[in-house]
């Protein structure tokens, strides 16, 4: 009997060892260097559910702007370019580029080498006129502006001041949404001047505003500091925006659009400004006006001589009265 009991107890233990326990999960088999990895699923197995799939990486704005200029640029325009570099933390400055017909290919290659997606190229001609190329590289589009009314930060000496590297707020006037070419210009200004979020050189708050407004077919740029009194900060956090004031920082400039191209630094023309007059034509008209003033003087002198010849004066009888005494 004792032998039979031992035999039945041993068989019961073997059956209990073979039967899996549903209450506790199976632990992976342990090896010398750790736990053994679970076996790979069969190729015919069903894919895991959408909940268990890994999430896609979040979108990150990697916009970088190359800022450069042409050779023989004047000091005022160079200071404007340096102000723009200081206002844009995501900007990269490069050496001067020769302003020739082949500048497009050279600049596209330079933008690619510096790992940038946009370019601001300040082109100075005759040491008088400043043109600004705003380009999305390498596929385009690109906009060519004539820059007028340039005033740098050092020249204005305004009282506004904001932290260098802080992210700006962009505001646009309502007439940017009226015509298609202004919508395109607005989108390019947004992509170029908006500092990407979580940029390594940018501060994580806003304390100044970039204002773009259209007046008389020109884009006017202003930069303002957002100023709040120290005793009113708590009210601003609760929604009291009327306590904020704007103080201009600078710089100032005006952009007159000339053409919009489909490509980078060229390509098919998408828009051409019909009201644009080049500075060379303006200077030629001024010279003609000056030449017209001189011609009027010459004609007046000739008319005076003709009048004197036609209306001769009678001889004066007392003209030789006092000559004998000398």
Q: What is the dihedral of CA 236, 242, 247, 252, to 10 degrees?
A: 110
- Can you tell me the distance from the alpha carbon of 194 to that of 189, in angstroms, rounded to the nearest whole number? 8
Tell which residue, 119, 122, 115, 70, has the closest CA to residue 96. Answer: 70
CA 104 to chain centre: 19
Residue 41 lies in a domain: no
Question: Total domain count for the chain?
Answer: 1
- Can you tell me the distance from the alpha carbon of 197 to that of 115, in angstroms, rounded to the nearest whole number? 18
Which 8-state DSSP code applies to residue 283? H
Contact 37, 113 (CB under 8 A): no
The pLDDT value given to residue 156: 87
Which 8-state DSSP code applies to residue 244? -
Q: Which residues of the chain have pLDDT under 50?
A: 1-4, 6, 8, 15, 32-33
The pLDDT value given to residue 146: 97
Kindly write down the DSSP assignment for every residue of 117-141, as one continuous string. SEEEEEEEETTTEEEEEEEETTT--
Contact 79, 73 (CB under 8 A): no
Residue 299 lies in a domain: no
Contact 116, 66 (CB under 8 A): yes
Residue 17 lies in a domain: no
Residue 207 lies in a domain: yes
Sign of the dihedral defined by the CA atoms of residues 264, 180, 65, 252, in that order: positive
Kindly write down the DSSP assignment for every residue of 61-78, as one continuous string. ----EEEEEBSS--HHHH
The angle subtended at Cα 161 by Cα 160 and Cα 167, nearest 5°, is 120
Residue 48 lies in a domain: no
Residues in contact with 270: Cβ distance below 8 Å, sequence separation at least 6, in sequence order: 141, 181, 184, 260, 261, 262
Q: What is the pLDDT of residues 100-110, one digit of tens each?
A: 656 788 899 99
Q: What is the CATH number of the domain that holds 75?
A: 3.40.50.10480
The residues facing 248 across adjacent strands are 224
Residue 51 lies in a domain: no
Residue 302 lies in a domain: no
CA dist 222 → 21, 89, 268, 322 (Å): 74, 18, 31, 78
Bridge-based pairing of strands 142-151 and 169-172 is: unpaired
Contact 86, 162 (CB under 8 A): no
In which region does residue 4 sit, left (phi positive, over 0), alpha (psi from -120 to 50) or beta (all else)?
Answer: alpha
Residue range(s) defining the domain that contains residue 91: 65-280
The pLDDT value given to residue 105: 87
The pLDDT value given to residue 32: 43
The residue assigned the tokens 């004998």 is: 324
Bridge-based pairing of strands 169-172 and 208-215 is: parallel
């Amino acid at each position: 009997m004792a032998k039979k009991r031992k035999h039945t107890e041993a068989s019961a233990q073997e059956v209990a060892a073979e039967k899996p326990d549903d209450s506790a999960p199976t632990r992976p088999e342990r090896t010398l260097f750790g736990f053994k990895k679970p076996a790979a699923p069969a190729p015919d197995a069903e894919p895991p559910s959408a909940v268990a799939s890994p999430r896609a990486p979040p979108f990150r704005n990697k916009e970088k702007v190359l800022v450069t200029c042409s050779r023989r640029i004047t000091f005022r325009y160079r200071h404007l370019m340096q102000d723009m570099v200081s206002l844009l933390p995501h900007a990269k400055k490069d050496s001067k580029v020769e302003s020739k017909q082949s500048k497009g290919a050279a600049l596209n290659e330079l933008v690619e080498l510096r790992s940038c997606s946009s370019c601001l190229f300040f082109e100075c001609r005759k040491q008088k006129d400043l043109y600004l190329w705003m380009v999305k590289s390498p596929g385009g589009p690109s906009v060519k502006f004539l820059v007028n009314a340039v005033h740098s930060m050092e020249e204005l000496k305004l009282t506004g001041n904001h932290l260098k590297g802080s992210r700006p707020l962009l505001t646009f006037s309502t007439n940017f949404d009226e015509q298609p070419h202004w919508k395109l210009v607005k989108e390019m200004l947004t992509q170029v001047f908006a500092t990407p979020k979580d940029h390594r050189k940018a501060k994580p708050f806003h304390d100044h505003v970039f204002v773009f407004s259209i007046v008389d077919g020109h884009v006017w740029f202003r930069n303002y500091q957002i100023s709040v009194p120290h005793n009113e900060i708590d009210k601003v956090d609760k929604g009291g925006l009327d306590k904020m004031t704007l103080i201009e920082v600078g710089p100032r400039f005006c952009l007159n659009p000339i053409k919009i191209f489909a490509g980078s630094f060229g390509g098919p023309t998408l828009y051409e400004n019909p009201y644009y007059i080049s500075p060379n034509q303006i200077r030629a008209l001024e010279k003609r006006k000056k030449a017209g003033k001189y011609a009027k003087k010459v004609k007046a002198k000739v008319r005076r001589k003709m009048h004197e010849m036609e209306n001769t004066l009678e001889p004066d009888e007392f003209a030789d009265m006092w000559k004998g005494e000398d």
